[in-house]
Amino acid sequence: MRVTAPGTPLLSVRDLSVSFRTEAGLVRAVRSVSYDVAPGEVLGIVGESGSGKSVSSLAVMNLLPGHAEVTGSARLNGQELIGQSDDALSAVRGSRIAMVFQDPLSALTPVYTVGDQIAEAILVHETVSRGEAMRRAVDLLHTVGIPNAAQRATAFPHEFSGGMRQRVMIAMAIANRPSLIIADEPTTALDVTIQAQILDVLQTARRMTGAAIVLITHDLGVIAGIADRVSVMYAGTIVETGSVDDVFYRPRMPYTLGLLGSIPRADAGERQPLTPIEGTPPSLINLPTGCPFVPRCPMAQDICRREEPGLLPIAGREPADTQRAACHFKDDIEQRQLTSRDIFPAPLPSSDAVRSVPREQRQQMLVVQDLVKSYPQMKGAVLRRKVGEVRAVDGVSFDIREGETLGLVGESGCGKTTTIMEILNLGRPASGHIAVLGHDTARMSGAEKFGIRRDLQVVFQDPMASLDPRLPIGEILAEPLRAHGVAPERVSARVRELLTLVGLRAEHVNRYPAAFSGGQRQRIGIARALALEPKILVLDEPVSALDVSVRAGVINLLERLRDQLGLSYLFVAHDLAVVRHIGNRVAVMYLGRIIESGDVDEVFDRPAHPYTQALLSAIPLPDPHKERARVRIVLKGDLPSPANPPSGCRFRTRCQKFANELTEPQRQRCIDESPALLPRTGSPDHLDACHWATAVEVL
């Protein structure tokens, strides 16, 4: 039902500004943002944390905390929303504009059943009986793909998985058939296969209600697939906007260019160094005059420091063209057709000297064989007894040779972190073997373990939590050196050397971690790991906590260090695009087992296992044409409990091949027999664990 004439915007936001008074000063979170949303269209708003993308939408809904100062205008079908009373707005919220929030774990009230919470959304706006509202809630749950909806409606949020909770959020959002849905990072906390499911549900919801969607995200890939138009936000304002194709293929603001050039691509066969944007987004307190991107922009001139550019059309385009960019040099970029590699200096491709030696002739740095790690399941409060065990890692084998990176990928709960913790533990595994530089960890003495830790170091995921906030970074870096008896007079020089090595300034040695940004702290974490000149680095999701624009810098640094210092990496990640970029080899884990492994290009280009195929198919590509043309394999359901894995092949309960292609006797084999990890596709190095493996091109 379209209530507005074509061409009239559904939502029209003009000069929206939001500021917060804090002790540190006035935070100008949103600065004069204007945009329109047409009925039924999908507008993507992209930005990094702190860019103001969420705050601007919350301001439209008047859901900001009381001390936020909001000015400007936001009209829904001509009705002003800014400055209205809570009573007036509560009639709009949930009925004409609905929201889907990021973290479905905390976004649902823990003490009410999901059915009640959806029914409440209906009852607030309509005078229907409780029973009728409840019946509709069950229908909605069914619509968003929750099995046994009638029964599940009586369950509480904590009884749902993250993906299921997000479905509940969407059911709640479409309960009153709104004309606009604002989805604020709806898939950020979810695994990639679950993300694909949720984006699917969101599309269904849109088809059903005809609602326009404002999709807020930091992930350009998510936008590419479903948005019609994109706005890019930076430092509280929109710096570029236009159709998806224009912004992705013809970006005219250096920040957009840099952002697109800095994301690794899962579909990129030939590996090119990423173009990192140096520096970090500016603080929104006391923002200097001029363009906020100046400190990070290689094109910046005097005029950029003097005045902030407006969001203006690009010269020489058709009058109907909707692309706008906020850059003094946008026309220059247009005329010269500049790309991110022209503007941002990319590092030179590093040498593959070590890896030019055939793999078999290189030394085995780390060997893991049939590794098992199980946790007992206990029952009873007083007399605890073992009632079973959870095999978090169940027979994992791989090896890493000199100078190469093995990417260990899988979704949360697959056992990848448990695997690396077992390796770092240097103990005797419950079953199987671990050998570091040829030494079996089960037979190592305490002194040997201490020695081998020099060669095996780790970088953790969260650079905020993994550095002691009370030690200056010089001390943090000196600690491993002292612990391993490096001469005191050498320590200080080495610390400075390390800081320079990871691209930080040596004179910052006395600063505390709090003085550094996320990306810089991760560099400190890497420097700490490198202090003892290790041969192997275990990297546990080293870039997943970082903002998109600083990620590229850290990835490039890791690549450079590997090739410069001849390191070997065990790179654990859930982001397959990052693994494709930095990895040489990849192992895919599912429910405690490796289900496919081999050379990165081989596995990404010709995945043989249905799970790998689904995983790759679920990755959103930051390429609108490709993204629209793709047919996704969307997996059913959630990861089964590792305490009670399915018999035979562990993936069969969610396997698209099992469900759609196999014959009954073939299925029986999947149920009865657990497939071994074997070469089945012709290449002796490409292993998979599927009885019916066939290599397919997915990306």
Partner 1 sequence: MAAFLLRRLVYLLCLVVVSTSVAYLLAATQLRPRARYEGRNPPPPVAVVDARLDELNMNDKVPVLTRYRRWGAGLLRGDLGRTIDNQPVNAEIGRRMWVSLRLVVVGAVVGTLLGVAAGAYGAVKQYQLADRVLTVSSFVILSIPAVVLGVLFKNAGIGLNNALGFKLLYTTGELTPGMDPWSAAGLVNRFAHLVLPSLVLIVIAVAFYGRYQRNAMLDVLGSDFLRTARAKGLRRSQALIKHGLRTALIPMATFFAYEFALLFVGATFTERLFGWHGMGEYFVESVTKNDINSVAGVTLFVGVLVLIAGFLSDLAYAALDPRVRV
Nearer to partner 1, 19 or 166 (CB): 166
Amino acid letter for position 504: L
Residue ranges with strand state E in 212-257 = 212-217, 229-234, 237-243
Q: Is 385 helix (H, G, I), strand (E, B) or coil?
A: strand
Residue ranges with strand state E in 268-363 = 312-313, 324-325
Q: Is 98 in the site for partner 1 (CB under 8 A)?
A: yes
CB of 658 to partner 1, least distance (A): 34
Q: What is the DSSP letter of 399?
A: E
CB-based contact 224:624 (threshold 8 Å): yes
Window of 118-126, 439-447, 530-538, 544-552 that interacts with partner 1 by CB under 8 A: 118-126
Q: Is 103 in the site for partner 1 (CB under 8 A)?
A: yes
Q: Is 120 in the site for partner 1 (CB under 8 A)?
A: yes
Q: Is 111 in the site for partner 1 (CB under 8 A)?
A: yes
Residues 26-85 that bind partner 1 (CB under 8 A): 61, 63
Side-chain-side CA neighbours of 518 within 13 Å: the count stands at 18
Question: Distance between CA atoms of 474 and 524, rounded to whole angstroms?
Answer: 10
Exactly one of 23, 87, 302, 489 binds partner 1 (CB under 8 A); which one? 87
Q: Is 387 in the site for partner 1 (CB under 8 A)?
A: no
Window of 96-104, 142-150, 302-310, 533-541 that interacts with partner 1 by CB under 8 A: 96-104
Exactly one of 26, 107, 565, 659 binds partner 1 (CB under 8 A); which one? 107
CB of 75 to partner 1, least distance (A): 19
CB of 117 to partner 1, least distance (A): 8
CB-based contact 434:368 (threshold 8 Å): yes
Residues 345-384 that bind partner 1 (CB under 8 A): 381
Closest of 303, 306, 275 to residue 288, by C-alpha: 306
Question: Distance between CA atoms of 465 and 456, rounded to whole angstroms?
Answer: 21
Exactly one of 5, 7, 23, 86 binds partner 1 (CB under 8 A); which one? 86
Nearer to partner 1, 105 or 300 (CB): 105
Q: Is 125 in the site for partner 1 (CB under 8 A)?
A: yes
**Could you tell me whether strands 585-590 and 431-436 are parallel, antiparallel, or unpaired per DSSP bridges?**
unpaired
**Per the structure block, which two tokens stand in for 211?**
């609602």
Nearer to partner 1, 34 or 209 (CB): 209
CB of 577 to partner 1, least distance (A): 29
With residue 45 as reference, give the H or E element that holds it.
strand 42-46
CB of 108 to partner 1, least distance (A): 6
Closest of 259, 224, 223, 222 to residue 239, by C-alpha: 259
Exactly one of 1, 5, 6, 110 binds partner 1 (CB under 8 A); which one? 110
Window of 89-97, 219-227, 276-284, 475-483 that interacts with partner 1 by CB under 8 A: 89-97
Q: Is 172 in the site for partner 1 (CB under 8 A)?
A: yes
CA 456 to centroid of chain Cα atoms = 27
Q: Is 156 in the site for partner 1 (CB under 8 A)?
A: yes
Bridge partners of residue 597, in order along the sequence: 587, 687
User: How would you label 632-664 residue by residue, b for 16+ Cβ within 10 Å and e otherwise?
Assistant: bbbbeebbbebeebbebbbbbbbbbbbeeebee
Amino acid letter for position 483: A
Write each residue from 450 to 479 as x if it is in contact with partner 1 (CB under 8 A), else as -, in one continuous string: ------------------------------
Phi, psi of 410 (to 5 degrees): 165, 165
| Binding residues with partner 1: total (CB under 8 A) | 32
Amino acid letter for position 221: G
Exactly one of 42, 74, 81, 121 binds partner 1 (CB under 8 A); which one? 121
Q: How far is CA 348 from CA 204, 271, 567, in A?
A: 45, 12, 19
Query: Which residues sit at the interface with partner 1, rule CB under 8 A?
Result: 61, 63, 86-87, 90-95, 98-99, 101, 103, 106-113, 120-121, 124-125, 156, 158, 169, 172, 176, 381
